[in-house]
Amino acid sequence: MSTQDNRIVLATGNRGKVRELGEMVASLSLQIIPQSEFDIAEVPETGTTFVENAIIKARHAAQCSSLPAIADDSGLEVDALRGAPGIYSARFAGDNASDTDNLQKLLRDIDHVPDDQRGARFQCVLVYMQHAGDPTPIICQGTWEGSILRTAQGNNGFGYDPVFLVPSKNCSSAELTPEVKNQLSHRGQALRKLITTLQRDRVL
């Protein structure tokens, strides 16, 4: 990245992700621009893993914007569902499902599961590509262990946050302040690794 251009396109249309990532890089000399500002359409996520989907999204955003791109692919893995919803977390209840639709389907699907067998984790993969043809994209992963509550709690966050119990805080992810969530979360972990790598490689 040149010293004259500190812009990076963020390959997501998810407002929650845009807000969280923007907050976490606020102290850096970076300008994170959502791909929507370039009128870049969402690309079909045809991969079978978080890594594949993140690379697909980053390459598409870099190609359409001619800027370096960061893409996030993340989701919830529930032990009682053998890792589902996984890469399908955003469309667990259907292609046009809302956060509420997905959350309610999850609670229905594991309603019979005892409290001590409701383990789950959020996974996040962040990919940074210097350009669309970058042969060595930087890939960083974060994992956040917890379990699934029986009812939604809290009004912060998005997605499955209201039913994700954070053991160390004894509350849901949606009950955490943004600052605490960013310190603990899968996305925060992955982003700190990515920033460290970019600084090491003198990209930042």
Task: Outline where the chain has alpha helix (H).
Answer: 15-24, 50-65, 99-109, 178-184, 186-200
Candidate list 39, 73, 79, 111, residue with the active-site label: 73
* Cα gap 151→84, rounded to integer Å: 19
Q: For residue 98, with 0-12 CB atoms within 10 Å meaning exposed, 13-18 middle and 19 or more buried, which class applies?
A: exposed
> Per the structure block, which two tokens stand in for 137?
């994209």
Rounded to whole angstroms, the Cα distance separating 78 from 64 reads 35
Alpha carbon distances (Å) from 93 to 14, 102, 152, 154: 17, 5, 17, 21
Tokens of 135: 């042969």
Q: With contact defined as beta carbons under 8 Å apart, do 147 and 120 qualify? A: yes
- Token pair 């990515």 in the structure block, residue: 194
Q: Which two tokens stand for residue 153?
A: 């709690």
Q: Is 73 a catalytic residue?
A: yes
Q: Is cis: bond before 114, omega within 30 of 0?
A: no
Contact in structure between 123 and 115 (CB atoms under 8 Å): no
Q: Which residues are catalytic?
A: 73
